[in-house]
Amino acid sequence: MKMKIGVIRGDGIGPEIVAQAQKVLDRVCEKYGHSIEYTDILMGGCSIDACGVPLTDEAIEQAKNSDAVLMGSIGGDAATSPWYRLAPELRPEAGLLRIRKALNLYANLRPAYLYRELADACPLAAKDGGRTFDLIIVRELTGGLYFGDRYTKTVDGVETAVDTLKYDENEIRRIAKTAFEIAMKRGKKVCSVDKANVLDTSRLWRKIVTEVAEDYPEVSLSHMYVDNCAMQLVLEPEQFDVIVTENMFGDILSDEASMITGSIGMLSSASLNETSFGLYEPSHGSAPDIAGKNIANPIATILSAAMMLRYTFGLTQEAEAVEKAVQRTIADGFRSVDLMPREEEAAASCTVQKCDEIGARICERL
């Protein structure tokens, strides 16, 4: 197969982690007889520096002409970077929001899976017999507060800011369908997360998700308020299979879900529209404090590349090979700093690896 992949290296640790994911993809191609044509696409702070805006029309066209886009991370330190002295619509994050909207990437899949070998890096108290969980957050990505009308103005002498939260039934229906389809291939359980005790959008959300559920009689549906879900994720993550939720709740809960896996450096993500196109990126940010030091964990990006093989290219065997190679690298005790066990004794049996070394260890196991 010939794959046309757009590559957004972005800012901070982005270029380092993307290089490792490309190394892994190249190894997969070599082994399974595929070929890749990469196109570099500018987005984020690097695009501001080069073109004055975080995403150009040309960059959107380049993304549209690719089968899929692999992305690192964008943005810098808001306190010190000159990018954050620009108007909000010119900052790095605006580029990410714009590409999501321009390509209609409404479904954001964020799996959180606890590797048995990383249970000692998991901050939750160990359960008898060891804790395991395997859940996926399906986050609506092109609606809600992120894309509602907003303004800041002075009303009767008082500075006032307004953000609006809006969802229509079609936006809810399509993301609910995505969640149920995924549940059919997994544990057949969907938990829809909302704030229906307060918000109108949540009451509509609950109604539409309940309607969609009728088409999936094999899937059991439950509803949960978002505050309770935040608590349940740290209390009993085992109870979840598929969580479906709106944009802002999904942003927050997916960071939480990633951290209980031991490190946010493990959480991959796919942003999909109704075609096979996808934007694949780690769920974490650009970590400017460790950029350029070759110590970032590239696994989230490598697992995002595996999601690309699976969802855009339908290469299940290749995706599984990458996931197994990651698992074996961890099982063999190779860890980026963020994955080192907290206990001294356990840490002694692990080897700290730099970002590029982790990439190399994974490639060796492919």
Amino acid at 363: C
SS3 of residue 133 by DSSP: coil
Show the tokens assigned to 132: 């395991």
Place of tokens 């939480």: 256
Residue with tokens 């957050």: 137
Shortest distance (Å) from residue 255 CB to Mg ion: 6
Site pattern 50..89 for ligand IPM (x: CB under 6 A): ----------------------------------------
Segment 124 to 183, residues that bind ligand IPM, using CB under 6 A:
none
Out of 11, 16, 93, 171, name the contact with ligand IPM by CB under 6 A. Answer: 93
Catalytic residue among 251, 280, 311, 338: 251
Is 251 one of the annotated active-site residues of the chain? yes
Cα 134 to Cα 187: distance, rounded to the nearest angstrom = 10
Name residues whose C-beta falls within 8 Å of residue 33's C-beta, 6 or more positions apart in sequence: none
Q: For this structure, is 23 an active site residue?
A: no
Nearer to Mg ion (CB atom), residue 11 or residue 251: 251
Query: Are the C-beta atoms of residues 2 and 29 closer than 8 Å to each other?
Result: no
The count of residues interacting with ligand IPM (CB under 6 A) is 4
Give me the 205-244 binding string for ligand IPM, x by CB under 6 A, dash otherwise: ----------------------------------------
First to last CA, the chain: 18
Residues 28-57 that bind Mg ion (CB under 5 A): none
Q: Two tokens at 14?
A: 């982005």
Cα–Cα distances (Å) from 344 to 335, 340, 341, 350, in that order, read 14, 9, 7, 10
Q: How far apart are CA 310 and CA 278, in angstroms?
A: 11
Determine contact, residues 346/329, Cβ cutoff 8 Å. no
Member of 251, 281, 323, 338 binding Mg ion (CB under 5 A)? 251
Question: Does 17 contact ligand IPM by CB under 6 A?
Answer: no
If we measure between CA atoms, which residue out of 208, 214, 181 comes closest to residue 194? 208
Q: How far is the CB of 94 from ligand IPM (least distance, A)?
A: 8
From 26, 77, 134, 255, the catalytic residue? 255
Measured from the CB of residue 146, what is the shortest distance to Mg ion in angstroms? 11
96: partner contacted, choices Mg ion, ligand IPM, none (Cβ within 5-8 A by kind): ligand IPM
User: Per CB under 6 A, does 259 bind ligand IPM?
Assistant: no
Q: Binding of ligand IPM at residue 307 (CB under 6 A)?
A: no
What is the C-alpha separation between 147 and 152, in angstroms, rounded?
A: 15
**96, 183, 306, 355: residue in contact with ligand IPM (rule CB under 6 A):** 96
Residues annotated as catalytic are 146, 195, 227, 251, 255
